[in-house]
Structure 1
């Protein structure tokens, strides 16, 4: 199992979008809060990303930035957000020396995976970061595809945007090996426990079964798992089961009894009760477009 792919798939809604813009000598664009994650890649020139709270982040050519929680921010030619205009009103300057690629991923806040929730407000990946050759390649391909509409462009763009998100997250995780989720993914027994729960959420897991599978005592597994992920193993299993169910309700036409079985509940009633406790709406209401 691929935990990072699972984390992204669990929260995704719809297709990502992107566009490429060339700006003149002075520019300042405001981005409103958004339910999802935004990204920016500076293809040429220099600039600044100014978060709603915190210090401005200097950007150089080739730098990539992920705004994982969709918070308000500004892109500017100077470390100052004054005079910012909405990005939607931006007018391209064909002769501009600064060029950037901007986009958005629609992600459900209600289903946000803890590994994504643990990210800082701004994830800055400078161009000179070692080991990010895949990210550079994806940026080059994406920049070209956005400006040259060819047969199959929609499919190619979606795939490249997916790659960009994965590579941005990989680069951040590689550069931040501290405590919490980054460490959990590097701790072999804890990573194995997470993989087991993700691979078979429908299994009748008990803490002793999971501990035996990864070669730890029950107490050690519980202590390390909780310290690194913020959840006990069984609490995380419940969260993952219901998060998986929410994705199935959104993306499939499976009846409720089938979904209940797929995520480890013995009856539709037990499943509905647990789902409503976590999402504050019944499964049928959620599928019909209720609160996300």
Structure 2
């Protein structure tokens, strides 16, 4: 596994949801805050988006928007002001009413809307540092993988062909990966895009995520990254925000939480997979980090389902 895949696996829950929406005329709808991540892709026409506490964004055909923290927001056919926001109709109410329909007049808008369910209790710092709104404008030659995923997703929603039940969530997973990749390629401020583009830090992170159960030491990890131990410690800590072995401990326990949530593996098996010599050692570390034992953590998850 790589860092981005692991970061997504740690927070993803259940199947994503998507819908194709068409609108004509004047409209203004509100999406409430959501315990997950939302996205919109404008297929035709144009609209405006205003995330809570943010500035309005003009969206054109081919633009994609990811709201990775589930921020509440308003979508409208024209520029948003305070009066328009006050009159916004709840999205579900509008979608099922006469406002959302296939349009025929000039200015018609068509978009893909969707949501991903996320577990906010074990968020990887890569996901945490994503901005409130990731706006990916449609520019010639930019992000071809993202554009291809958008095209495939739109086709599946249109046709509902055999196998769509399997294809749709897979394409939505791809869409999320490509949106995060695109943000990383364009970001000038995030720490994690820098960490994953730095040869030394990226090599160390790949090694840790590829085999978190290995008996890592600073010396062994520095050798895997091809640098001295002081160089690794300095660059890794500056870019990731914690020393290599501290990050490894945190990731092992986060990975353990993911396995407890998503698999029926015994505690002994989970301990082996994340690099602890016994269930007792894992329980002690897990309790210290998360304030509960692995057994109670799994029971709480099962009780909430």
TM-score bracket, normalised by the shorter chain, equals over 0.9
Match of 1:205 in 2: 216
Indicate yes or no: 2:87 matched with 1:83: yes
Secondary structure of the equivalent of 2:102? Answer: coil
**Superposition deviation, residue 105 in structure 1:** 0.9
- 1:253 is paired with a residue whose SS is coil
* Per-residue deviation, residues 124-165 of structure 1 (Å, max 9, x unmatched): 000116331221111111112113222111101011101111
Q: Is the 8 A contact 1:179 1:228 kept in 2?
A: no
> What is the aligned partner in structure 1 of residue 48 from structure 2?
48
Equivalent position SS for 1:174: helix
Q: 1:109 Cα deviation (Å)?
A: 1.1
Q: State how far apart, in whole Å, the 2-side matches of 1:280 and 1:144 are.
A: 46
Q: CA 1:111 to 1:271, structure 2 compared with 1: closer, same or farther past 3 Å?
A: same
Superposition map of 1:105-120 within 5 A: 105-120=116-131
Segments of structure 2 that go 5 or more residues without pairing to the other structure are: none
d(CA) in 2 for partners of 1:274, 1:39: 36
RMSD of aligned C-alpha atoms?
1.7
Name 1:14's counterpart in structure 2.
Answer: 14
Q: Show the 5 A alignment for 1:113-262.
A: 113-128=124-139, 130-178=141-189, 180-262=191-273
Paired residues, what number? 292
Residues 19, 157 of structure 2: 8 Å contact kept: yes
Q: Give the match for residue 94 of structure 1.
A: 102
Whole-Å separation in 2 of the counterparts to 1:289 and 1:89: 34
Cα displacement (A) at 1:75: 1.3
Contact 1:110 1:279 in 2 (8 A): no
Query: Residue 28 in 1 paired to residue 32 in 2?
Result: no
The range that moved more, 117-126 or 127-136, is: 127-136
Whole-Å Cα distance in 2 between the matches of residues 54 and 159 of structure 1? Answer: 31
Shift of 1:77: 1.5
Shift of 1:25: 1.5
Do 1:50 and 1:79's aligned partners in 2 also have CA atoms closer than 8 Å?
Answer: no
Q: TM-score w.r.t. structure 1 length?
A: 0.95
**For residues 95 and 179 of structure 1, what CA distance do their matches in structure 2 show?**
40
TM-score by length of 2: 0.91
Instruction: Tell me: CA distance 1:179–1:153, structure 2 relative to 1, closer, same or farther (3 Å).
Output: closer
Rounded Cα–Cα distance in structure 2 between residues aligned with 1:266 and 1:129: 53
Give the superposition deviation at 1:177: 4.7
Unaligned runs of 5+ in 1: none
